Amino acid sequence: MSNPQDTAKTPQKTKAARMRELLAGDDLVISPGVYDGYSARLVERAGFKTACTTGAGLSNTLFGQPDAGVMGMSDNVNACYHIARSLSIPLMADADTGYGNPVSVHHTVRYFEEAGVVGVNIEDQVSPKRCGHMKGKDVIDVAEMANKIESACNARRDDDFVVLARTDAIAVEGIEGAIRRARVYAAAGADLIFADAIHSEEDIKRLVDSVPVPVSVNMGFGIRSRPTTPLIPFARLKEIGVKRVTLPRMLPAAAIMAMQNALSILKETVAAGGTADRPDLLVGIDDIMALMDYPTLRALEARFLETESFDQKYGEIFKAPVD
């Protein structure tokens, strides 16, 4: 017999459907780049409605290597799976070149969709790809990339799954070449267009005006990043028609800065023979446990473990009421 409560539940919108709503809305969609569980949960806690993975951040943190095609599809999908399941907000992923030809892209999209992300970026670089801000990039034939986009759209099981076509053609064909490619990719079915390393506000506006689908741009954060694309106020980006802004380097750069500062202080403290208590630099263990949702773990243990076993772990004082 079915449970009457089950039939009364209102089906919730999928994360992909929520992403589509955001892209169709009036607001600029801001997606900070994430690369692990900490960064992902912090983005959601801060109130952002979407996040995206940073391919460079994943490659750098998982392998300690430059973003130069070292990370494979399985590594990327596995990381995205764990990040996506830790979030309730939509997460888009960087799928690099799609890991092969248009047939490979079919399988790549299936794997990423099954991992729980709401969409993927696929770029037109020659494999092995390079970070978008590195020199020495090259791009594949426009027709092959159009086939990749068509294959990606055909492969998705959920029509709300977002296919973003990224072109790196500015480095080799200039803005005119990038715009020509963007038009072809939009015609092939791309839901979003992104021209990496675009050089000016004027070029961004030209791209927005030239394609029939929304445009996404990458922004750095602060003068230290020395971005290829100039820092443009979010309000101005919205005014010229940009739909989505990603900030892939902000959180990795912030984490590196914080770790450098903490290690420097630790080294000084060790040399002085002292101990370091720096609440201005370090969150407490309770903060980490709250971010990682340890209370939910404790509630599950309270519900499903035998009373004696739970009390041995926590003591009677911590026992939570069980529904």
Instruction: Determine which helix (DSSP H) or strand (DSSP E) holds 164, and give its type and residue range.
Output: strand 162-167
Here the contacts of 224-233 (C-beta below 8 Å, separation 24 or greater) are: 224/253, 225/249, 225/253, 227/133, 228/132, 228/133, 228/197, 228/198, 228/199, 229/197, 229/198, 229/199, 229/204, 230/199, 230/200, 230/201, 232/201, 232/204
Distance between CA 106 and CA 111 in Å, rounded? 9
Do 269 and 245 lie in one domain? The reply is: no
Q: What is the mean pLDDT of residues 235-258?
A: 96
Name the residue with higher pLDDT: 221 or 99.
99
Distance between CA 263 and CA 307 in Å, rounded? 43
Residue 76 has pLDDT above 70, yes or no: yes
Do 153 and 270 lie in one domain? The reply is: no
Do 73 and 19 lie in one domain? The reply is: yes
For residue 288, give both structure tokens: 């980490």
- The answer to whether residues 178 and 207 touch, using CB atoms and an 8 Å cutoff, is yes
Do 68 and 158 lie in one domain? The reply is: yes
Do 60 and 195 lie in one domain? The reply is: yes
Query: Domain of 117?
Result: 13-249
Q: Does 1 map to a domain?
A: no
Q: What is the CA radius of gyration of the chain?
A: 22
What tens digit of pLDDT does each residue of 142-198 get?
999 999 999 999 999 999 999 999 999 998 999 999 999 999 999 999 999 999 999
Q: Does 2 map to a domain?
A: no
**Greatest CA separation for the chain:** 71
Name the residue with higher pLDDT: 205 or 277.
205
Instruction: Determine which helix (DSSP H) or strand (DSSP E) holds 29, and give its type and residue range.
Output: strand 29-34
Domain boundary among 220, 249, 278: 249
Domain with residue 91: its CATH number is 3.20.20.60
If we measure between CA atoms, which residue out of 99, 173, 170, 180 comes closest to residue 132? 170
Domain boundary among 249, 273, 288: 249
Q: What is the mean pLDDT of residues 238-262?
A: 96
> Three-state SS across 120-134?
EEEECECCCCCCCCC
What tens digit of pLDDT does each residue of 253-302 get?
999 999 999 999 999 988 888 887 888 889 999 999 999 999 998 898 88
Q: Model's pTM, two decimal places?
A: 0.89
Q: Does 225 map to a domain?
A: yes
Opening angle at CA 180, ends 94 and 140, nearest 5: 55
CB atoms within 10 A of CB 21: 13
Q: Does 214 map to a domain?
A: yes
Count of domains in the chain?
2
Of 26-40, 57-71, 81-95, the range with the lowest mean pLDDT is 57-71
Q: Does 170 map to a domain?
A: yes
Domain boundary among 202, 221, 249: 249
Do 43 and 157 lie in one domain? The reply is: yes
Do 179 and 220 lie in one domain? The reply is: yes
Distance between CA 276 and CA 257 in Å, rounded? 18
- The answer to whether residues 254 and 222 touch, using CB atoms and an 8 Å cutoff, is no
What tens digit of pLDDT does each residue of 4-44 get?
444 456 668 999 999 999 999 999 999 999 999 999 999 99
Q: Does 266 map to a domain?
A: yes
Q: Does 8 map to a domain?
A: no
Name the residue with higher pLDDT: 322 or 262.
262
